[in-house]
Structure 1
Amino acid sequence: MTSTTGGPVVVSRRIEAPAGDIFRILADPGRHPELDGSGMLRGGVSDAVVAGVGDVFVMRMHFERYGDYEMHNHVVEYEQDRRIGWEPRPGRGHPDAGAPGASWGHRWIFDLLPDGAGATVVTETFDGSRLPADKRAEVDSGRAWWQTQMASTLERLAALCADR
């Protein structure tokens, strides 16, 4: 399932794994490059597993327009084995690092809904509703790209779960 017009970008996939197994991967930033469908993640700066709202994990990133940089991901939603979400903020090497308003309030959220014995429907959401108008317009104009990258992330997550 994917969203097709306006609002958050949403992609869902049924994965043959219990919610707890999937959540452990999502809560471990060190595993994120393995499941990243965009190819932008380079690795975690620390190996700390997310334990709740208020945690911050830093990811090394690469984007052609910016080169290498870091994003500081502030965990804003956390329900063990059900939901995890964070708000990225630009860090070292990002052109917006330290700029006023550098936190745009966009969120990455993963919802996990058990679906029978040993399976889970995972929904990935990119919620850009708090982005400035120009950034929201970029997301809307590139919606198909976002959906493709997110579908790839969920496909990779399913493969990681199958390998367990």
Structure 2
Amino acid sequence: MTEETTQVSVSRRIAAPAADIFRVLAEPRRHVDMDASRMLRETLFEGALSGTGQVFTMKMRFKQLGDYEMDNHVVVFEPDRRIGWAPVAGHGHPEQGSSWGHRWIFELSPDGPDATVVTEIFDLTGMPENRRAEVGQGQVWLPGMTKTLERLDALCTGG
């Protein structure tokens, strides 16, 4: 029996080459600038990501939890095409060391020489059903994902 894939996604055409967009996505310090949830505060990772297996820690704030950290394990890394990570609760989180089994992934599809369709994916495939229900099967993230891609667009195009 194969596991059913459950994902929600949002796409946006950005007037920038995939390589330029990927550079922003591969630099965790830039995530604070593009995050529409306003939960990200700063990263403890210096430089750019270079492959799977790396872990970058983000300082976060969520009203119900206060300040905490998330350790993001890079699980997808295809330069200029795909990048993604699986979050694990870090220092200060009440479930430190645990994972809900979800992943955040960005896919980049060139659309001409100077444009790219960027798709942000919230992959719930590995999440237990009770956790999926807590996030409305991922639907709660769609407005923020839409805004995040707007911010990514502005970062990459100067808009």
Name the TM-score class by shorter chain. Answer: over 0.9
- Tell me which residue corresponds to 2:158: 163
- Contact kept, 8 Å, 1:128 with 1:139, in 2: the verdict is no
Within 5 Å, give how 1:63-102 maps onto structure 2: 63-98=62-97, 102=98
Matched, 1:103 2:102: no
* One-letter amino acid of the structure 2 residue matched with residue 156 of structure 1: R
Give CA deviations for 1:121-142 in whole Å, capped at 9, x if unaligned: 0000000121121111122266
- Tell me which residue corresponds to 2:115: 119
- What TM-score, normalized by structure 2, do the two folds share? 0.93
Alignment partners' CA distance in 2, 1:146 and 1:76: 20
1:146 to 126, 136, 141: 141
* One-letter amino acid of the structure 2 residue matched with residue 157 of structure 1: L
* One-letter amino acid of the structure 2 residue matched with residue 133 of structure 1: E
- Contact kept, 8 Å, 1:36 with 1:156, in 2: the verdict is yes
- Contact kept, 8 Å, 2:7 with 2:124, in 1: the verdict is yes
- Per the TM alignment, residue 72 of structure 1 is displaced from its structure 2 partner at its CA by 0.3
Distance 1:141 1:123, change over 3 A: closer
- Contact kept, 8 Å, 1:129 with 1:136, in 2: the verdict is no
Moved over 6 A (4+): none
- Contact kept, 8 Å, 2:124 with 2:138, in 1: the verdict is no
- Per the TM alignment, residue 105 of structure 1 is displaced from its structure 2 partner at its CA by 1.9
**C-alpha root-mean-square deviation of aligned residues, in Å?**
1.5
Alignment partners' CA distance in 1, 2:78 and 2:137: 32
Alignment partners' CA distance in 2, 1:142 and 1:121: 21
- Tell me which residue corresponds to 1:23: 22
Alignment length, in residue pairs?
A: 155
Within 5 Å, give how 1:48-63 maps onto structure 2: 48-63=47-62
**Matched-pair identity in %:** 57
Alignment partners' CA distance in 2, 1:150 and 1:12: 9
Alignment partners' CA distance in 2, 1:110 and 1:37: 15
Alignment partners' CA distance in 1, 2:75 and 2:125: 15
Unmatched 5+ stretches in structure 2: none
* One-letter amino acid of the structure 2 residue matched with residue 77 of structure 1: V
- Per the TM alignment, residue 89 of structure 1 is displaced from its structure 2 partner at its CA by 0.2
- Contact kept, 8 Å, 1:106 with 1:126, in 2: the verdict is yes
- Tell me which residue corresponds to 1:132: 128
